[in-house]
């Protein structure tokens, strides 16, 4: 049975930095000290209007392919974990697949909110382990800023936008060791965006009849998340056959520094084994863990053969954890031709899409004229 190993990784965050002081200037009854002391967040990135989820996902994916020295055309499957897709349909993954030029790849979106990336990583690994795929691109990307009420200080200060991606590749050496996923739908109302779905569909003006803003019961989410991330981590460590002391780095979902510290205390983890960057980006939902993974790698916190545990929680209520053994030497030297090749593939993909759209217009025009002649 083949194993799934991470061969490439990449991240993208918007250029706009919003520090805590910005909320004070907006007139919110808050302060830098109030936000930082309760969340650990000092700043976050917010996407521009012309920067949809698919744009961030493509940028992160391109870097992951570059690191892996891989062709987009060789990818078998693209999974985009997001709860803020470009459209209700088609899937954001299909848009990403087209822009990358991954013409052989299947594409699908998966929504498990903040747990989405770990869910998608486990699903991608399963495709490789079953022999149905050799290379799977897994992307976590979210733009929750579009669903924030900027007058609600309990939610708008918490979230940021971004994307992270990894390329999974079939190998003979162990990579993804174990995973666990779960959900408790009885808590679905504790963290949700009510409007826009079939329960509260858009009206004739294109606006949701229900509330389009994110709602969260902070105290209950805090208590539940601390317990579930710890339990999920313990479960996946036991399933993987490892012992807690053999774990070299924990990368939890970056939602709140107090949750991360409470989880670490519950598991008895020293600070040097827990990675956090929530202070710089806030909660980027499904992008949180892949962005943290990329930054941990850049900071030299991960070496070949290290054992890593990813653990997450999110709306649903959902949770997931995954244990992996890092199999990549960090002295990577991608080909200098890779950026040129990626640029060429992107341009070819754009030309192919334009040609196909034009062909459809021509066919539609001919069909309409043919029907008119028959009548």
- The structure tokens 């779960």 sit at 182
**Residue tagged active-site, from 20, 111, 114, 294:** 114
Copy the structure tokens of residue 225: 């998340």
- Residue 274: φ, ψ to 5°: -120, 130
Copy the structure tokens of residue 231: 């339990």
- Positive or negative torsion for Cα 297, 330, 11, 78: negative
Q: Is 121 exposed, middle or buried (0-12, 13-18, 19+ CB in 10 A)?
A: buried
Q: Rounded to whole angstroms, how far apart are CA atoms 87 and 11?
A: 22
Q: Rounded to whole angstroms, how far apart are CA atoms 157 and 150?
A: 8
Note if 283 is an active site residue.
Answer: yes
Cα–Cα distance list, 122 to 43, 127, 147 (Å): 30, 9, 28
Copy the structure tokens of residue 300: 């030299």
- Positive or negative torsion for Cα 235, 239, 240, 243: positive
Quickly list H helices, the chain.
21-25, 32-39, 53-68, 92-100, 116-129, 218-240, 257-267, 278-281, 288-298, 338-374
**Residue tagged active-site, from 20, 63, 253, 294:** 253
For β-strands 318-325 and 176-183, DSSP reports them as: antiparallel
Q: Rounded to whole angstroms, how far apart are CA atoms 41 and 57?
A: 23
Note if 209 is an active site residue.
Answer: no
Q: Rounded to whole angstroms, how far apart are CA atoms 46 and 43?
A: 10
Helix (H/G/I), strand (E/B), else coil: 145 = helix
Taken as a whole, the chain contains a residue count of: 375
Note if 114 is an active site residue.
Answer: yes
Q: Which residues have a catalytic role annotated?
A: 114, 253, 283
């Amino acid at each position: 049975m083949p194993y799934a190993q991470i061969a490439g990784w990449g991240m993208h965050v918007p250029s706009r930095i919003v520090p805590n002081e910005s909320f004070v200037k907006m007139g919110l009854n808050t302060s830098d000290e109030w936000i930082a002391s309760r969340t650990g967040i000092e700043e976050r990135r917010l996407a521009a209007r012309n920067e949809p989820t698919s744009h961030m996902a493509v940028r992160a994916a391109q870097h992951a392919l570059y690191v892996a020295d891989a062709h987009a055309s060789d990818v078998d499957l693209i999974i985009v974990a997001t709860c803020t897709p470009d459209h209700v349909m088609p899937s954001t993954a299909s848009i990403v697949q087209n822009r990358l030029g991954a013409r052989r790849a299947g594409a699908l979106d998966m929504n498990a909110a903040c747990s989405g990336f770990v869910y998608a990583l486990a699903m991608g690994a399963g495709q490789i382990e079953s022999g149905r795929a050799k290379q799977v691109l897994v992307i976590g990307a979210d733009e929750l800023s579009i669903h924030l009420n900027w007058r609600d200080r309990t939610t708008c200060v918490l979230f940021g936008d971004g994307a992270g991606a990894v390329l999974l590749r079939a190998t003979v050496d162990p990579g993804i060791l174990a995973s666990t996923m779960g959900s408790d739908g009885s808590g679905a109302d504790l963290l949700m965006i009510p409007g826009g779905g079939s329960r509260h569909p858009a009206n004739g003006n294109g606006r949701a009849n229900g509330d389009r803003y994110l709602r969260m019961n902070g105290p209950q989410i805090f208590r539940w998340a601390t317990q579930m991330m710890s339990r999920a981590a313990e479960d996946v460590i036991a399933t993987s056959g490892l012992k807690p002391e053999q774990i070299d780095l924990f990368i939890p979902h970056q939602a709140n520094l107090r949750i991360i510290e409470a989880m670490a205390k519950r598991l008895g983890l020293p600070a040097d084994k827990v990675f956090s960057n929530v202070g710089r980006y806030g909660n980027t939902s499904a992008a949180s863990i892949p962005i943290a993974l990329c930054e941990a790698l850049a900071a030299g916190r991960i070496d070949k053969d290290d054992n890593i545990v990813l653990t997450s929680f999110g709306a649903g209520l959902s949770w997931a954890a995954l244990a992996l053994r890092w199999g990549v030497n960090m002295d990577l030297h991608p080909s200098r031709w890779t950026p040129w090749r990626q640029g060429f593939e992107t341009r070819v993909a754009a030309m192919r899409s334009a040609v196909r759209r034009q062909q459809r217009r021509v066919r539609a025009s001919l069909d309409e004229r043919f029907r008119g002649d028959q009548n």
